[in-house]
Amino acid sequence: MQIADILKLALEKNASDIIITGGSKPSLKINGDIYFFDNVELISKDESKKLALSIMTESQRELFLKTLELDFSIELKGFCRFRVNAFIQKDGYSLVFRPIKSEIPEFEMLHLPEILKSFTYKRNGLVLITWSVGSWKTTTLAWLLWEINKTMSKHIITVEDPIEFVYENKKSIIEQREVGTHTLTFDNGLKYALRQAPDVIMIWEMRDLETFRLALRAAETGNLVFATLHTSGAARTVARIIDMFPWDEKEIIRQQLSESLLWVVWQQLLKTADGKGRVPATEVLINTVPVANMIRKNQTHQIPNAMETWKESGMITMKDSLDTLFQKWLIAKEIYEANLAVLDRYN
């Protein structure tokens, strides 16, 4: 079976991920579960190498063989674009494909809290969307940028790895830059973005201290900055950002965060009650005056209590979100109770 045939079938099955790896049959991830292809032989180590290298450009192959892993994107003409991660494991080469929807879903289809609509109207500040790969972080960001594009006249610059959603200019100008193709690194792309007269900057992922420093500087100097992070828990995200920095920088970082941070959104995807899809459970931290004081005074451990106390400001705890999804019968009882148990361990 050719890669193109596997990808086409994945689109028919509405798979979120396609995994092709040495030592295994090709598989699809559908609503969080793995399904192996029937009547297909295991992919050998040699076959996996041939398949992986066949979909890369020459420059991508050179980089991959040097670094042993690579993010890039491909297009299946007439169907869809895919984000691809290639890596090497003990049984051969592996490819993980993720379909990139050509159309950005309407807000109601995403089942996100209404307060997220207000994110697009701020002139400056930092908005963080957090949790792991496959939690709709990119889709949420795409909706936010698309809403700005449709309703406001802004200059939007994105720094992505790789480019996923492709935007058409509406009222705004959107310039998309891919790391490794249009700019060398995230921090390089962000550093030069500050000189390119932006109003809105989107950073696909904040991976290092320099990117954090530049993002805070961009938010402080009049830009609305959206970024993703691999963290869990809105309050814990703030503490972990501060913990990343050396001791001699922590005080100034707390000050910058207290002034520039707007919202932290933690979202995770859960299987729907009917088993036919997934829905996000979403926690929202708003940097109110009390929260800003806690950040500044190194009292981030008090933020969860603040979220409970000031819910009228629009804050949503993960428990609130789970309660709402369960009450609307969007998630089953066993999913609800399992995630409450996980929250208890977090807390």
CATH number of the domain to which 72 belongs: 3.30.450.90
Looking at the DSSP assignment, which residues form a beta bridge with residue 97?
18, 84
H/E stretch holding 325:
helix 318-327
Tokens 């496959």 -> residue: 134
Q: Can you read off the two tokens belonging to residue 215?
A: 């993002």
Closest CA to 9 of 67, 56, 76, 62: 76
- For residue 145, give its domain range: 107-346
In whole angstroms, what is the distance from residue 345 CA to residue 347 CA? Answer: 5
User: Domain ends where: 83, 100, 117?
Assistant: 100
CATH number of the domain that 198 lies in? Answer: 3.40.50.300
Say whether both 75 and 116 belong to one domain. Answer: no
Tell me if 17 sits within 8 A of 98, measured CB to CB: yes
Say whether both 50 and 146 belong to one domain. Answer: no
Tokens 């993010």 -> residue: 71
In whole angstroms, what is the distance from residue 58 CA to residue 102 CA? Answer: 27
Domain count, the chain: 2
Write down the pLDDT at residue 302: 96
Give the pLDDT means over successive 10-residue stretches in the chain (347 positions).
90 94 95 90 94 94 95 88 94 94 85 93 94 78 95 96 88 94 90 95 89 94 94 90 94 96 94 91 96 96 94 95 96 95 78
H/E stretch holding 71:
strand 69-76
Say whether both 193 and 87 belong to one domain. Answer: no
Closest CA to 171 of 155, 183, 157: 155
Write down the pLDDT at residue 347: 63
User: Domain ends where: 72, 100, 128?
Assistant: 100
User: Domain ends where: 81, 100, 119?
Assistant: 100
